[in-house]
Structure 1
Amino acid sequence: MTNSFVLVGNVASSLKLSTSPAGVHHCQFSIEHRSIQVEDGLSRQAFVRMKVVATGEWSQRLASELIEGMQIQVTGFINRHESRTGNPVLALHAQQIEMI
């Protein structure tokens, strides 16, 4: 099975850096996408705001490279996370981030 996801949008929140107890670095932020899509011959507005998680050494460099409002393309996979209240949330786990 394949779980591959690509999303182009704008950085919609400040970056949050953290390190797990095992020493793994993480960077989290939100990406916002707005576009007009054609579905069954009709135009419709598409809007999504999604949590992005980058893991590993490269994720620490993102704090100096990404700024709120910047347009990026994120390639990775989606996974379920739980919010602090226990609600399920989809997160895009970044494997590559390209500045546009």
Structure 2
Amino acid sequence: MADSPSELALNLVEIGGIICKAPKFSQSPAGVPHCIFVLEHRSIQLEAQLNRQSYVRIQVVASGKEHQPATEYLQVEQQVRVRGFLNRHQGRNGLSQLVLHAQQIERIN
């Protein structure tokens, strides 16, 4: 049975963690502000009725003026929860990486 187009379009991630690399701020040629940081997540997740260590480091990109209040005071070792979508970015070296594009950022501490 085929998935409906709306099910195939679903791309939503919510993850909590600690900022492990200092946020970098930039602006596109069109004037769109960007904040880029790396989020580190560590937890224990249940899989097949067994505890599994989960460890992820993912780059987060927050673009647009609406994110400036949430990103303005971000710093290393701060706990945050990020909600957004995944996208592939290709670096200058030609390697691809998975990036979380933030739609909502919540500072936890």
TM-score range normalised by the length of the shorter chain: over 0.9
Q: Of the candidates 34, 44, 49, which is equivalent to residue 42 of structure 2?
A: 34
Structure 1 pair 62/98, CA: closer, same or farther in 2 (3 Å)?
A: closer
Shift of 1:65: 1.7
Aligned residue in 1 for 2:60: 52
Q: State the identity %.
A: 48
Q: TM-score, normalised by structure 1?
A: 0.93
Secondary structure, aligned partner of 1:65: coil
Unaligned runs of 5+ in 1: none
Specify the code of the residue in structure 1 equivalent to 2:38: S
Structure 1 moving runs of 4+ over 6 Å: none
Aligned residue in 2 for 1:2: 10
Asked whether the 8 Å contact 1:17–1:60 carries over to 2, the reply is: no
Unaligned runs of 5+ in 2: 1-8
Secondary structure, aligned partner of 2:59: strand
Aligned residue in 2 for 1:17: 25
Paired positions, count: 100
Shift of 1:51: 0.4
Shift of 1:60: 3.6
Q: Of the candidates 76, 80, 88, which is equivalent to residue 96 of structure 2?
A: 88
Q: Cα deviation per residue 1:48-78 (whole Å; 9 max; x = unaligned)?
A: 0000000011344455321111111000100
Measured on the aligned residues, the alpha-carbon RMSD in Å equals 1.2
Q: Cα deviation per residue 1:12-36 (whole Å; 9 max; x = unaligned)?
A: 1111111111111111000000001
Q: TM-score, normalised by structure 2?
A: 0.85
